[in-house]
Amino acid sequence: MGELVVVRHGQTEWSASGQHTGLTDLPLLPNGEDDGRRLHSVLEQREITHAFVSPLVRARHTAELAGLFEGGIDARLEPDLVEVDYGGWEGLTTPEISERVGRSWSLWHDGTVPGDSPGETLAQVAERVDRVLEKARPLLADGDVALVAHGHVLRVLAARWIGFGPEQGALFPLATGRYGTLGFEHEWPALTSWNAGCP
């Protein structure tokens, strides 16, 4: 039985500055491209048979640099893996949002507000990642499945894998260019590694 290999895209201008980047389609910075190349050396050691990749350019380019669109891997773009739609908080940092709301703000407790896009609840994000997990689970019989996406959506996905509510994604920080694995312990879904770096 394989594992889910959960990969956050490499660094972008907004991830470096701490700005919330939902549907804004930013490219990787040069260090972000280096992140993708470092991931290649780790992922090529695994038996990855399938990959689901967010269609946003920062995730797609990371997956390309990491070698997931080559070597016989069945890789496909997966719209359900796009980042959380932050709505009116898009492009803002947590301190900027906290200043606007007049108290300490957290996505995990306070959610989003409408803006240029409607924003998204954690329950809506959970519905999306549950669909991804439903597609990925049967493929684990063949080997590992890579999921390349974004920080908050992958944190919700990790929480859902182990049976938690989406707000428990707060417990699973995942830095750019890092990865984790979701597998099993005695047939129970388990977090087997998290926020691991690359040599």
Q: Catalytic residue numbers?
A: 9, 83
- Residue 150 burial (CB < 10 Å; 0-12/13-18/19+)? buried
Residue 68 per-residue DSSP state: T
- Do the bridges between strand 48-53 and strand 4-8 make them parallel or antiparallel, or are there none, so unpaired? unpaired
Measured in degrees and rounded to the nearest 5, phi and psi for residue 173 equal: -60, 140
Q: At what angle do helices 151-161 and 122-136 cross, to 10 degrees?
A: 70
Inter-residue contact 77 to 53 (CB < 8 Å): yes
Reference 81, options 43, 46, 127, 48; nearest CA is: 127
- Residue 128 burial (CB < 10 Å; 0-12/13-18/19+)? buried
